[in-house]
Structure 1
Amino acid sequence: MSVTVNASQANKLLRSAITDVNQNSWTPNSLQSKQIEDVILGTHLTYRYILTTGLIAKATNESCNAITLQAGSSLQGAYDARSICHGVLVPIERELLGGRLGESNEPFLNKPARYPELSTLNAVRRGNDARLLETTIGVLSSLTSSEHAYQCLKDCVYYILQRKSRNLSDYLISTDSSLQQTSLIRFADGLLSQSFEGETCALLVGATYNVMGLAQSRSFDVKVHKVNQAGSSSKEVSDVDVYENGMLIHTIEVKDKEFTPEDVQHAINKAVMSGSKSLVFAVGPRGSLRGSSWAELTQLWSQQGVNLYFVNVLEHFVSNLSSIPSIDIRWVLDMINYHADQSKIKDDTFDHLVQCSKAVMA
Structure 2
Amino acid sequence: QIAVNVVNQSGASSKEIGDIDVYLNKSILYTIEAKDKNYAPQDVQHAVKKAIDSGCNRLMFVTGPRANLIQTSQTYKDLINDASKKGVYLAFFTYIDFTKMILSLIPPKTLEEFFKVLINVSKESRLRTDTLEYFYSVAQNNDIIEKQD
TM-score normalised according to structure 1 size = 0.36
CA deviation profile, 1:314-347 (whole Å, cap 9, x unmatched): 1122234345795311220121122123213344
1:1-362 to structure 2, matched below 5 A, reads 221-229=1-9, 231-290=11-70, 291=72, 292-322=74-104, 326-359=108-141, 360=143, 361-362=145-146
Counterpart amino acid of residue 20 in structure 2: V
CA distance in 1, matches of 2:26, 2:67: 31
CA deviation profile, 1:271-319 (whole Å, cap 9, x unmatched): 1111112211112222222211100111122122222211222112223
CA deviation profile, 1:50-94 (whole Å, cap 9, x unmatched): xxxxxxxxxxxxxxxxxxxxxxxxxxxxxxxxxxxxxxxxxxxxx
SS at match of 1:267: helix
CA deviation profile, 1:89-111 (whole Å, cap 9, x unmatched): xxxxxxxxxxxxxxxxxxxxxxx
- Aligned-pair identity (%): 35
SS at match of 1:271: helix
CA distance in 2, matches of 1:350, 1:242: 23
For 1:146, the equivalent position in structure 2 comes to none
CA distance in 1, matches of 2:80, 2:134: 34
CA distance in 1, matches of 2:81, 2:10: 25
* Partners of 1:231 and 1:270 within 8 A in 2: no
SS at match of 2:23: strand
* Partners of 2:48 and 2:83 within 8 A in 1: no
**Structure 1: which 5+ runs fail to align?**
1-220
Deviation at 1:252, TM superposition (A): 0.9
* Partners of 1:251 and 1:278 within 8 A in 2: yes
CA deviation profile, 1:127-160 (whole Å, cap 9, x unmatched): xxxxxxxxxxxxxxxxxxxxxxxxxxxxxxxxxx
SS at match of 2:122: helix
Alignment CA distance shift 1:340-1:284 (3 Å): closer
Counterpart amino acid of residue 55 in structure 2: G
**Structure 2: which 5+ runs fail to align?**
none
CA deviation profile, 1:176-213 (whole Å, cap 9, x unmatched): xxxxxxxxxxxxxxxxxxxxxxxxxxxxxxxxxxxxxx
More strand per residue: 2
Deviation at 1:256, TM superposition (A): 1.9
* Partners of 1:223 and 1:240 within 8 A in 2: yes
SS at match of 2:33: strand
Counterpart amino acid of residue 45 in structure 2: Q
SS at match of 2:28: strand
Counterpart amino acid of residue 123 in structure 2: D
Moved more, 337-346 or 349-358: 349-358
CA distance in 2, matches of 1:299, 1:270: 17
User: Bigger relative contact order, structure 1 or 2, given CA contacts below 8 A and separation 6+?
Assistant: 2
* Bigger Cα Rg: 1
